[in-house]
């Protein structure tokens, strides 16, 4: 089931480190290699056994979520152990959704918090309100991590507000679930099992954990990025769509959808991802068929239950 991204990120060696800091960070720069505190990794549970019922994994039923019930904040470090032994079909799919749905919602929640902070600070700038230096530095750092190198800035005065808002935004849940299912073979691929790689992001950075593809072309030196926690794979995926030059049409259509105030339309946005895979149109068709065939559009309206004491 593994397809391959034509453009993951042109500067993977740096971006997939700084991008995660940006997406999870809260107060400016974070030393490379440290774990930002927005994601409480200690609150992520060990992967559940695959023979556990989907309701027990998720903390509610998928049917209840489809009917509007909030999704419990139950996060797992990886896919269910032994998932490959579960017969392909609805039983495997439900367990896959039970693990991935809360993580996609949590990743979007993190991005939305960053977006809200950015908009508030930019509004203050436009109103000629003085910004503390840490906030100015955060804006510049966050903007530069999203932009191609030639468009990076040294000061907030150079920030393109419209481009910033187009790039710092969430992804439709239905699309994320479908791409994760496609790229990870419903959580059973070697990359998913060994490296929590839900989206098959490539890396050329020798400092990254990675897995060498068995069918890698002679002379190639990329690996599939591996993660200690599954949520990091989701965050990398969001960064890929928000940063990559091949996904400008995705960002343009997403901005149009967000301007209406309604939920994102994953089926329509899937149609913009012709550059995500070497399969191009066939890949897009598969995504759209899976979204409709599995009735995933309803999850574009799903929301996490409010946090109890601490967020994770």
Is 6 a domain residue?
A: no
What angle do helix axes 12-24 and 230-243 make, rounded to 10 degrees? 110
**pLDDT (tens digit, 0 to 9) for every residue of the chain, 312 residues total?**
444 444 444 333 333 333 443 333 333 333 333 333 368 888 899 999 999 999 999 999 999 999 999 999 999 999 999 999 999 999 999 999 999 999 999 999 999 999 999 999 999 999 999 999 999 999 999 999 999 999 999 999 999 999 999 999 999 999 999 999 999 999 999 999 999 999 988 888 888 888 888 888 888 888 999 999 999 999 999 999 999 999 999 999 999 999 999 999 999 999 999 999 989 999 999 999 999 999 999 999 999 999 874 444
| Cross-strand partners of 81 | 49
Q: What share of the chain is helix, strand, coil (3-state, %, to 5)?
A: 50, 5, 45
Is 197 a domain residue?
A: yes
- Tell me how far apart the alpha carbons of residues 14 and 76 are, in angstroms, rounded to a whole number: 27
Is 24 a domain residue?
A: yes
Helix (H) or strand (E) holding 56: helix 54-58
210 phi, psi to nearest 5 deg: -160, 165
Is 81 a domain residue?
A: yes
The answer to whether the beta carbons of residues 172 and 264 sit under 8 Å apart is: yes
Is 196 a domain residue?
A: yes
Is 111 a domain residue?
A: yes
Is 182 a domain residue?
A: yes
Is 310 a domain residue?
A: no
How many CB atoms are closer than 10 A to CB 294? 16
DSSP state letter for 211:
E
Domain that holds residue 42: 12-28+38-301
How many CB atoms are closer than 10 A to CB 243? 23
pTM of the model: 0.86
Q: How many domains does the chain have?
A: 1
């Amino acid at each position: 089931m593994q397809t391959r991204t034509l453009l993951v990120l042109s500067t993977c060696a740096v971006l997939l480190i700084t991008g995660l800091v940006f997406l999870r960070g809260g107060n400016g720069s974070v030393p490379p290699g440290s774990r930002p505190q927005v994601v409480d990794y200690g609150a992520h549970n060990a992967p559940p056994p695959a023979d556990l019922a989907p309701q027990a994994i998720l903390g509610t039923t998928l049917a209840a979520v489809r009917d509007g019930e909030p999704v419990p904040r139950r996060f797992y470090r990886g896919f269910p152990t032994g998932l490959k032994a579960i017969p392909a079909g609805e039983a495997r799919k439900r367990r896959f959704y039970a693990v991935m749905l809360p993580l996609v919602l949590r990743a979007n929640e993190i991005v939305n918090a960053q977006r809200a902070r950015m908009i508030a600070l930019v509004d203050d700038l436009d109103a000629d309100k003085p910004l503390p230096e840490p906030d100015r530095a955060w804006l510049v750092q966050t903007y530069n991590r999203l932009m191609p190198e030639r468009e990076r800035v040294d000061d907030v005065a150079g920030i393109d507000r419209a481009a910033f808002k187009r790039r710092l935004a969430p992804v439709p849940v239905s699309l994320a679930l479908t791409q994760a299912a496609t790229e990870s073979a419903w959580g059973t691929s070697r990359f998913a099992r060994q490296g929590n790689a839900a989206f098959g992001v490539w890396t050329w950075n020798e400092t990254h954990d990675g897995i060498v593809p068995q069918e890698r072309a002679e002379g190639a030196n990329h690996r599939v990025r591996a993660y200690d926690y599954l949520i990091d794979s989701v965050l990398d995926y969001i960064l890929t769509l928000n940063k990559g030059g091949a996904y400008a049409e995705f960002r343009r259509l997403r901005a149009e959808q967000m301007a209406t105030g309604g939920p994102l339309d994953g089926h329509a946005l899937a149609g913009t991802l012709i550059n995500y895979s070497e399969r191009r149109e066939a890949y897009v068709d598969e995504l759209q068929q899976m979204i409709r065939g599995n009735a995933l559009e309803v999850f574009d309206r799903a929301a996490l239950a409010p946090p109890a004491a601490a967020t994770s």
